[in-house]
Structures are given as structure tokens and as C-alpha cells.
Amino acid sequence: MTHLVVTVAFALAAPAADPAKEALDALQGEWKIVESVKKGTADEPKEFADRKVTIKDDKLKVVRAGSKREEAFVLALDPKTDPKAIDVSETGEKEILKGIYKLDKDRLTICVSADPDGARPKEFKSTEKPNVTLLVMERVKK
């Protein structure tokens, strides 16, 4: 009986899982862009073939091969919405771009409104008006 009481007490004392942190943990690692559609028009694959995307903690960094310059973004996730919500902001900036995301095994799809005052997209589709960008990435296997 004492063992049961200790087990129940421990379970009650354990911190509740944080769905946003768990969702962010699932995105950690290196990604390659396989599709990019801006304003309803697909980029040529060569436009993003040399980019390396890394997600570490709540930071997403994009670096072009042979370049030391990186683009850095902060991510905030809300996996409880349908579709799941993502907010993206450039490091140090106050503007927040609203988007949605989905992770299917090792394929990450992000759809974000490029207008900081724009509404959060409701579907995974790039459009010109409003200016919505679709980005599809695959996890780099090591």
C-alpha cells in the first residue's frame, strides 16, 4: 500500500507536459528546403538548393552554402490549434508573422502570412493576396 501511495504522490507532483515545448522538440535538427512557394508562384529548386536550415531550441537559422551571413528567426508554436499555429519573428524584431505548420514524420510544412498584420492562414496554400508563403522541408538524415 505504501508503494502505491508513493507512486500516486510522485505522479501528482510531476510537472504537466508542455505541448508547445514537446512540439518544438520534435522540430529540432537540420532541414533542407524541398519546396518554396511565394505569392502563389513556386521558386525554382535551384533558388533554395544551397540553403541549410537548422532549428535549435526556439531558433530557426537559414544559411546559404559558402556564406557566413545567416537569417535568424524565433519560433513560437501552438500545437493545440487545428491546424497547428506557428508565429515567426526575426531575431530582435517585434513584427510577428502568423502561420500554420504540420510535421509528418520527417517532412515539415510551414505556411505563413508575409504581412505582419495579416490573418493566420487556414490552409497550406500560397496566395498572392493575401501574401502567403508556403515552405516544405525534409529532415536531413545523419
pLDDT digits (tens, 9 = 90+) for 37-95: 999 999 888 888 888 999 999 999 999 888 878 899 999 999 999 999 999 999 878 89
Query: What was the pLDDT predicted at 67?
Result: 81
Query: What was the pLDDT predicted at 125?
Result: 95
Determine the average pLDDT of the residues in 120-134.
Answer: 93
Task: Name which of 31, 28, 30 is nearest 138 in CA terms.
Answer: 31
Query: Quick check: 139 pLDDT over 60?
Result: yes
CA dihedral for 11, 13, 16, 17, sign (positive or negative): negative
CB-based contact 140:28 (threshold 8 Å): no
CA distance 136 to 102: 10
CATH 1.10.8, domain 18-139, yes or no: no
Q: What is the pTM (predicted TM-score) of this model?
A: 0.84
